[in-house]
Structure 1
Amino acid sequence: MEFNLKTTAEQARSASYSYALLSTAAKNSALMAIAAALRKNHDRIFEVNSEDVKAAREQQLASALVDRLTFNESRFEEMV
């Protein structure tokens, strides 16, 4: 399955409208589920990020971009 940024953005926009109608409790529950999924997939997220960072360096992207792309434990914990 190929990643399509435009399709993903359209899906996100559509989902945001539905999300806006949810109660605070439902939104909090969704956020907790997302955080749990991120924690569950921690190792895979870091593996894929490492591959992305390697590719960015090979493409000689600016160091500031590589830095923004690079995940570490601190950034991960800020997300979850």
Structure 2
Amino acid sequence: MRIDINVPIDPEIREILDDRRIKVHAKSLREIIEKYNPAVVLGSHQGRPREQNFTTLERHAELLEKYSGLDVKF
């Protein structure tokens, strides 16, 4: 499943500034898994190489895990 979790990133320290979009996707992901019990593979990206908002999705995965209560592998 592809999700759009592009969020504002502080370009100097590469920290997420607003995680509301991640919270919404975490809720939806939880609902899908509770209803259908599937194994889910997520695909996404944050920005493009050499752009200010380009970064790894590792922190995004941590927040998805926190907000969904699910085990998220990165």
**Band of TM-score, shorter chain:** 0.3 to 0.5
Richer in helix (by share): 1
Q: Which has the higher contact order (CA 8 A, sep 6+)?
A: 2
